[in-house]
Amino acid sequence: MLFRTWEAAGPVADVAFVDGHLVVTRHALVKRILADPDLFRPDNALDAVSPMPVAALRVLAGHGFRLPPTLANNHGASHPAIRSATAAALHPARVAALRPWLTSVVAGRVERLRAASGPVDLYADLAADLPLLVLARLVDLPPAPTAVVKEFTRAALELFWAPVSGERQLALADIVGRFHAQLRDFAATGPGLAAQLRAAGHPLDVVVGALFFLLVAGQETTSQFLTLLMHRIAATPGLAASIRDGHVRVDDVVEEGLRLDPPIVTWRRVTARDTVVADLPVPAGTSVVLWLARAGRDPEVVAAPEEFHPGQPGSRRHLSFGAGAHRCVGAQLSRMEAAVVVAGTADLLAGAEVVRAPWCPDNLSFRMPDSFVVRTAKEGPLVNAEALTRGPSFSASGRSGGCR
């Protein structure tokens, strides 16, 4: 259950022990835990879900891989300064200044998709690299090809948050370790955020860690969210046309998408000492899994928790960006990108038919959709559309299932 929480349906307990983790679902409890880093520490946020074998650890060590407390996993005194420097790079004013450029980029991609002669993949051809291009305009990044960066970020999400075999861990460790070495070289001499962190006296490992986390959290999660949101719009009758015609506010669609389809479905904390959560005794050192996606469906927060209803009261109270001292510093960046994509693709999606819904591999915290294929209206009706949309789809590993 913990590795496909986006598929869980029906009532769930406010708190319960599952596979050795304390799983918390209630919105108020999740928010309270996120806001108390002294009792519920972020130290385990980047711990590998599948313990790494010695062979994989040696591969990482061979590349000089180290990931000290930096942002998401940092409860120490250095966190505020690192966070402040990162937040300055992603300042809302800088984000807003990129909106016209991004709108133009999305418009150009949509036109190319509309002109395509066959079905198009809205993940690969629109959403996959878009947030990386945006991030590169805000933060100086290593001069690596887009495909290399995307391979690294998806490998990192799988290595640290997925249930993977030892053999697969070896391959992932090599991908992550090789790019980490590039990050280290760049962090030592690179400009922008790297230079600011160095000038502030932060160790090189911390500079590398900040860039590492930015590349994962600052763009990979957003490309996933864009894909999930476009699928949600296409699968909701009449919604795309309502967006296109101005009957539904784009910002409301984005917030409802974050509530129902967050790219990060769970996040972790670890108890610093013995405590009690909702009358349940919890020992020190317990892994706490905060079910962010389920908290967004709390009936105490929204009246129609299972419905995609943009603008409904409580829709913006989701915890998709977390809360407290570790709340996502890129929240406004993700919102801006999503708003531009929703507005830019509404007309295309209004006349599109889903050929292949996104598929998501097993993962504790991330959705990681692999593709989203649609047929545009100009191409005529799709044969057996319902079967193609609802039937199983397969990844390279042969696993099947829908990304719902």
Q: What is the DSSP string of 161-216?
A: HS---HHHHHHHHHHHHHHHHHHHHHHHH--THHHHHHHTT--HHHHHHHHHHHHI
CA 384 to chain centre: 32
Strand 373-375 to 353-356 pairing: antiparallel
Q: Count Cβ atoms below 10 Å from residue 85 Cβ, excluding itself.
A: 19
pLDDT value, residue 87: 95
Rounded to whole angstroms, the Cα distance separating 262 from 153 reads: 18
The helix/strand count (H/E) of the chain reads as: 16, 10
Do 230 and 87 form a contact (C-beta atoms < 8 A)? no
List, for the chain, all residue ranges whose pLDDT scores fall below the cut of 70: 1, 378-404
Rounded to whole angstroms, the Cα distance separating 255 from 155 reads: 28
List pLDDT tens digits, range 157-204: 999 999 999 999 999 999 999 999 999 999 999 999 999 999 999 999
CA atoms within 13 A on the CB side of 160: 22
For 231-293, give the secondary structure using H, E and C: HHHHHCCCHHHHHHCCCCCHHHHHHHHHHHCCCECCEEEEECCCEEECCEEECCCCEEEECHH
pLDDT value, residue 379: 47
Provide the 3-class DSSP secondary structure of residue 156: helix
What Å distances lie between residue 250 and 14, 236, 260, CA to CA?
A: 32, 15, 15
List pLDDT tens digits, range 229-249: 999 999 999 999 999 999 999
Rounded to whole angstroms, the Cα distance separating 266 from 13 reads: 15
**Nearest C-alpha neighbor of 255 from the set 201, 295, 315:** 315
List pLDDT tens digits, range 261-278: 998 999 999 999 999 999
pLDDT value, residue 361: 96
Place of tokens 């050192």: 285
Q: Which two tokens stand for residue 284?
A: 């020190």
Provide the 3-class DSSP secondary structure of residue 36: coil
Place of tokens 């409802």: 256
Specify the DSSP element, H or E, that contains 106: helix 99-115
pLDDT value, residue 64: 94
Ordered by where they begin, the domains of the chain are 5-348 (1.10.630.10)
pLDDT value, residue 378: 61
- Exposure b/e, 337-372, CB count within 10 A at least 16 = b: bbbbbbbbbbbbbbbbbbbbbbbbbbbbbbbbbbbb
Do 233 and 253 form a contact (C-beta atoms < 8 A)? yes
Provide the 3-class DSSP secondary structure of residue 47: coil
pLDDT value, residue 217: 86
What Å distances lie between residue 147 and 94, 140, 143, 158, 366, CA to CA?
A: 26, 17, 12, 17, 20
Q: What are phi and psi of 32, to 5 degrees?
A: -65, -40
Q: What are phi and psi of 392, to 5 degrees?
A: -70, 145
pLDDT value, residue 1: 61
Rounded to whole angstroms, the Cα distance separating 320 from 263 reads: 8
